[in-house]
């Protein structure tokens, strides 16, 4: 039919749709310039692989939905069958719909069918104005019998110059741990079988040129936007093809399409950059910030009282916390777990979403009125997808649990999962949450938790994760339609549900249950690969972390929490006057820098000393920036070397100075660098290519620098 060229923001996608079969992606990556029809034909013909000995008689062409009928022997794009038949497809192109406005996203819709298999597929490819590519498949069963779907996965080619892979893994309180290795032959497959995104989920699977870093190298990456079981993979074939892909991971029998029924894949997000990992983040952050539902108001500084009171709810004590929070500059007060019936610890009550009359004889309203009277927003913790067996709702409806017939899944934190695919269970949860918010209009924020994997999650005897995930999305959507002014945080044992599908329904994520500042530096750095700072909850924890037992001074904790949706997770009613004064100064600093932190470009420094981490945010007009330099451990060298400050306009001059109003970090210098006291003025080129020598910080100390253009 035609060869299409989609171009947006230095990114090109060339699609060859001339043949009778499914189109193939000729190029996805850097902009290839203005190409006329003849240029596109020559480019496309020049990329067709040759016929080699001991192979097919015709070139094997990798389409947007790889098929064995076209000679593809790698991971299939589609796997399924109709009682043993229809297991292999040979789709033929029925038509293309192309929309390339002067501005806005460019879209191609591919329609193809295989009458012999009784299937029709629709493929939607979108390149947004910022260079972000999304791909989604829809499969319809046109046959007269059921079709069991096992896999339907968008796949994109990556050029041979990508020689290394980077992905993320982790666990509870240690999310987003990077791992990197050469891209060799075979498939590197990341499967999440948690029924949720997972602590170990790779937010991005990145392929790049040798030695790529935060600020350099050509990189390609994909993200599977799905909050249930999922797969993301990189595959390199001995025949020369390299691919990235991802989609939903289906259990046997989980999706059976009856005649006329359809299945739609999660969106696969794909992004390219020739400016390293920061370039990927810039595209993703810009895309997210352009969403109609992206938070627009300043992100309120939040106090969550969990680590202050745990389950010990006392009105007077909570009022005192609210009073102290207002003095420090907090803007949102969140009452965590323990407010509902029977909830004196984590073994009982979950699912009984009624205010506990024994603890709150006058209800939550007295606390809400006190908090809002101090000028703070009021928020509340909920975990509506879970249930304790020791609860009224479970005793009345034991069949409402996701389980196989005859047994419960292994207990996890004394809880099970409510089967929201059951209409009665779904209606109960929606009614409880809706009533809670309707009866308490002062609640403007929900910390929505989900604290266990969906293990052996059965629904009416069949696998239930797919249906549960869609039901959870419906629950979020309907509740937000009824209460549009209420913001929601996605928390899942910390950072176990962080993906762009849940972010389409929430206003931020809780990156980790670990508030240890040293651990948080890494967790936040790598969560920020996908999400901009304003979507990542970053709180100042207590002096001694309750998850690691490590002790940090307030300056290090506050500097780490500065670069995100700022908050406090600490018993501030018991802190000293000096700590209160210093904490208030850090809160004030965050508020002053918040317009920059929550709108600018994130940069991370490729420093040669692994003991020194530096990162920052630069205004899009290159007039302001703020950087933090953290010393993680001692270094082999006495002085770690100058730290470069990337992202500034090389032609402009900037004044660099240590932020004022907060205490300076502890150093081991006999004399600090001479420029630090009065600041210095240099060009953006000098700051990015030479950098500045900083004090030799003690381990677990951070220095925050403010940078302003002077011309």
Give the DSSP H or E segment for 431: helix 423-439
Cβ atoms of 246 and 113 closer than 8 Å: no
Strand 680-683 relative to strand 701-709: parallel, antiparallel, unpaired?
unpaired
Residues pairing with 382 in the sheet: 448
CB proximity list for 634: less than 8 A, separation 6 or greater? 611, 699
Calpha distance 533→618 (Å, rounded): 12
Alpha-carbon dihedral angle through residues 53, 58, 64, 69, given to the nearest 10 degrees: -100
Of 282, 356, 513, 619, which one is the catalytic site residue?
Answer: 513
Calpha distance 517→547 (Å, rounded): 11
CB proximity list for 317: less than 8 A, separation 6 or greater? 309, 573
Angle subtended at Cα 189 by Cα 183 and Cα 194, rounded to the nearest 5 degrees: 145
Alpha helices, H only, 294-390: 306-309, 315-328, 365-373
Buried b (16+ CB within 10 A) or exposed e, 682-705: bbbebbbeebbbbbbbeebbbbbb
Q: What does the DSSP assignment read for 651-701?
A: TSEEEEEEPSSSPPPPB--SS--THHHH-EEEEHHHHHHT-B----BPSSE
Alpha helices, H only, 290-422: 306-309, 315-328, 365-373, 392-396
How many angstroms separate the first and last alpha carbons of the chain? Answer: 54
Cβ atoms of 420 and 378 closer than 8 Å: no
Quick check: is 619 catalytic? no
The residue among 669, 667, 660, 656 whose CA lies nearest residue 702 is 667
Quick check: is 513 catalytic? yes
Of 200, 449, 516, 619, which one is the catalytic site residue?
Answer: 449
Cβ atoms of 697 and 703 closer than 8 Å: yes
Catalytically annotated residues: 449, 513
């Amino acid at each position: 039919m035609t060869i299409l060229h989609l171009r947006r923001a230095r990114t090109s996608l060339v699609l060859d749709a001339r043949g009778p079969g499914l189109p193939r992606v000729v190029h996805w990556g850097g902009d290839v310039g203005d190409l006329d029809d003849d240029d596109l034909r020559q480019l496309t013909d020049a990329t067709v692989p040759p016929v080699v000995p001991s192979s097919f008689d015709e070139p094997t062409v990798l389409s947007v939905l790889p098929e064995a009928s076209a000679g593809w022997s790698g991971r299939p794009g589609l796997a399924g069958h109709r009682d043993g038949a229809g297991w292999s497809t040979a789709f033929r192109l029925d038509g293309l719909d192309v929309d390339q406005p002067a501005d806005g996203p460019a879209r191609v819709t591919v329609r193809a069918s295989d009458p012999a298999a009784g299937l029709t597929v629709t493929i939607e490819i979108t390149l947004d104005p910022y260079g972000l590519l999304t791909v989604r498949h829809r499969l319809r069963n046109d046959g007269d019998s059921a079709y069991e779907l096992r896999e339907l996965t968008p796949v994109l080619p990556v050029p041979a110059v990508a020689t290394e892979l980077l992905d993320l893994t982790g666990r509870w309180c240690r999310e987003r741990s990077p791992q990197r290795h050469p891209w060799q032959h075979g498939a590197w497959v990341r499967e999440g079988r948690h029924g949720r995104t997972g602590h170990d989920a790779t937010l991005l699977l990145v392929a790049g040129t040798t030695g790529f870093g935060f600020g350099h190298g050509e990189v390609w990456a994909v993200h599977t936007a799905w909050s249930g079981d999922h797969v993301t993979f990189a595959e390199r074939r001995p025949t020369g093809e390299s691919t990235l892909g991802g989609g939903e991971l289906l259990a046997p029998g989980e999706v059976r399409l009856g005649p006329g029924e359809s299945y739609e894949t999660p969106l696969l997000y794909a992004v390219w950059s020739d400016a390293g990992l920061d370039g990927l983040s810039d595209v993703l952050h810009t895309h997210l910030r352009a969403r109609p539902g992206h938070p627009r108001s300043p992100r309120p500084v939040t106090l969550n009282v969990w680590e202050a009171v745990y389950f010990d709810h006392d009105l007077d004590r909570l009022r005192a916390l609210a009073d102290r929070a207002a003095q420090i500059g907090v803007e949102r007060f969140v009452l965590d777990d323990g407010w509902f019936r029977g909830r004196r610890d984590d073994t009982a009550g979950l699912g009984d979403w009624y205010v506990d009359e024994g603890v709150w004889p006058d209800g939550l309203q007295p606390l809400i009125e006190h908090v809002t009277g101090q000028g703070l927003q009021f928020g509340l913790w909920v975990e509506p997808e879970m249930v304790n067996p020791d609860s009224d709702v479970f005793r009345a409806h034991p069949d409402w649990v996701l389980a196989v017939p005859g047994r419960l899944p292994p207990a996890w934190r004394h809880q099970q999962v409510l089967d929201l695919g059951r209409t009665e269970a779904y209606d109960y949860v929606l009614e409880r949450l809706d009533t809670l918010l309707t009866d308490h209009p002062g609640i403007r924020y929900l910390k929505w938790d989900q604290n266990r994997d969906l293990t052996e999650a059965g629904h009416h005897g069949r696998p239930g994760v797919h249906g549960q995930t869609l039901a959870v999305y419906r629950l979020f959507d309907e509740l937000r339609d009824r209460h549009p002014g209420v913001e929601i945080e996605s928390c899942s044992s910390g950072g176990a549900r962080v993906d762009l599908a849940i972010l389409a329904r929430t206003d931020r994520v809780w990156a980790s249950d670990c508030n240890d500042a040293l651990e948080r530096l890494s967790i936040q750095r790598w969560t920020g690969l996908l999400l901009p700072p304003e979507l990542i909850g970053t709180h100042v924890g207590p002096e001694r972390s309750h998850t690691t037992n490590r002790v940090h001074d307030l300056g290090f904790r506050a500097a780490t929490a500065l670069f995100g949706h700022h908050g406090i997770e600490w018993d501030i009613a018991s802190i000293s006057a000096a700590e209160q004064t210093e904490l208030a100064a850090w809160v004030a600093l965050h508020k002053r820098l918040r317009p920059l932190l929550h709108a600018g470009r994130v940069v991370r420094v490729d420093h040669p000393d692994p003991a020194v981490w530096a990162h920052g945010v630069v205004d899009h007009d290159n007039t302001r920036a703020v950087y933090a330099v953290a010393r993680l451990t001692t270094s082999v060298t006495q002085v770690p070397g100058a730290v470069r400050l990337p992202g500034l306009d090389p032609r402009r001059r900037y004044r660099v100075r240590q932020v004022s109003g907060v205490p300076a970090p502890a150093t081991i210098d006999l004399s600090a660098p001479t420029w630090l006291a009065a600041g210095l003025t240099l060009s953006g080129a000098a700051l990015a290519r030479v950098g500045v020598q900083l004090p030799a910080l003690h381990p677990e100390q951070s220095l925050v620098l403010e940078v302003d253009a002077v011309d």
